[in-house]
Amino acid sequence: MANLGIPQNTIEILQKYKFNFQKKFGQNFLIDTSVLERIVAAAQITKDDFVLEIGPGIGTMTQYLAEAAGQVVAVEIDKALIPILEETLAEYTNVTVINADVLKLDLKQLADERNGGKPIKVVANLPYYITTPIIMSLFESGTPLESITIMVQKEVAERMQVGPGTKDYGALSLAVQYYAKPEIVANVPPNCFIPRPTVGSAVIRLTRHQEPPVDVMDDHHMFALIRASFNQRRKTLANGLSNAPELHLTRDQVTQAVEKMGLSATVRGETLTLAQFAELSNLLKNA
Ligand code: SAM
């Protein structure tokens, strides 16, 4: 099968099947061989690897992944793409396409059944409308993971990487950094896709931590604190957390914990590091 990274080949297959792009599925297909090579190189795929691809589209990146990996499972929601994938991936015996909504699949079970519970690599040019839910469900479902190498909106990639003191710092930064080490590996302009997205894109690799980088007694509790802090970003922690009904905390409890940590009683959540959120969560659990 012709390399779909070459724009003319993609156009031919789209015309052959009279394919209509579905905006609601975030369909922007890659048409740049050097970007495709960079993604696969960044994911460090070898023949020992089991790769989950989310949203193969017409199979452009899938072809590259099939060449490099041992096994590839590609999950595509759009039924109209399935016959196209049958043609574009026909020569690969190591690719399985599943027609499903990735958010409704049990990915832990998939990794357990198809890769004997060993860590998998996720590689995807993600549909941008569900970037955060996909990443969070990969981490929170307990799916055994080695790394996630994904194309996302440029601003979202930056949000995953930053620390306190920047306006982009938030719950997503902390969640990603709790589970993984984020590294932006490429910036990708709109003209590398058909149709062109209205935003810039970036490829980011999230390498799963073997051990969490902080000691926290109850990570659900820590993430509840984090969410409440950034929901009320402009409030002090004492006000923000005591206002959040799900936490059942008083202003005094929060102030005491914050002061115990050597911080000012008027500190805001957006200035805390992951280690400080972990410490605060442990103090409040013990209180
Ligand atoms: N991988 C292809 C490429 O790079 O050219 C296509 C990438 S396109 C940005 C995103 C793909 O994800 C589309 O094929 C879209 O139909 C698919 N998709 C969107 N939502 C999905 C979902 N919930 N589950 C699985 N696939 C989804």
Ligand 1 atom 23: residue of nearest CA: 101
pLDDT of the chain, 287 residues: tens digit per residue: 789 999 999 999 999 999 999 999 999 999 999 999 999 999 999 999 999 999 999 999 999 999 999 999 999 999 999 999 999 999 999 999 999 999 999 999 999 999 999 999 999 999 999 999 999 999 999 999 999 999 999 999 999 999 998 999 999 999 999 999 999 999 999 999 999 999 999 999 999 999 999 999 999 999 999 999 999 888 999 999 999 999 999 999 999 999 999 999 999 999 999 999 999 999 999 87
Spatial CA neighbour of 171 closest among 231, 215, 117? 231
What pLDDT is stored for residue 114 in this prediction? Answer: 96
Q: Enumerate the domain spans of the chain.
A: 7-208, 219-286
User: Does residue 265's CB lie within 6 angstroms of at least one atom of ligand 1?
Assistant: no
Q: Are the beta carbons of 51 and 73 closer than 8 angstroms?
A: yes
What angle separates helix 219-231 from helix 171-179, to the nearest 10 degrees? 160
Question: If you ran DSSP here, which 8-state letter would residue 166 be given?
Answer: S
**Is the minimum distance from the CB of 49 to ligand 1 under 6 angstroms?**
no
201-208/71-76 β-pairing: unpaired
- Ligand 1 and 197: CB distance under 6 A: no
Cβ(28) – ligand 1 distance below 6 Å: yes
Q: What distance in Å separates the CA atoms of residue 259 and residue 153, rounded to the nearest whole number? A: 38
Using the atom order of ligand 1, give the atom closest to the CA of residue 27: 8
Q: Which protein residue has the closest C-alpha to ligand 1 atom 5?
A: 29
- State whether the beta carbon of 276 lies less than 6 angstroms from ligand 1: no
Q: Is 73 in the pocket of ligand 1 (CB under 6 A)?
A: no
CA of 76 to the centre of ligand 1 (A): 6
Q: pTM above 0.75?
A: yes
CA of 151 to the centre of ligand 1 (A): 11
Which pLDDT score, from 0 to 100, does residue 80 have? 98
When the candidates are 1.10.8.100, 3.40.50.2020, 1.10.10.10, 3.40.190.10, the CATH number that belongs to 219-286 is: 1.10.8.100
Sign of CA dihedral 218, 219, 222, 228: negative
- The verdict on domain 7-208 having CATH code 3.40.50.150 is yes
User: What is the distance in A from the centroid of ligand 1 to the CA of 237?
Assistant: 39
Q: Is the CB of 170 under 6 A from ligand 1?
A: no
What is the rounded CA–CA span in Å between residue 126 and residue 123? 9
pLDDT confidence of residue 228? 95
Q: Is the CB of 13 under 6 A from ligand 1?
A: no
- Cβ–ligand 1 distance for 76 under 6 Å, the answer yes
CB atoms within 10 A of CB 42: 18
Query: 7-208 and 219-286: same fold?
Result: no
Going from the Cα of 26 to the center of ligand 1, the distance in angstroms, rounded, reads: 7
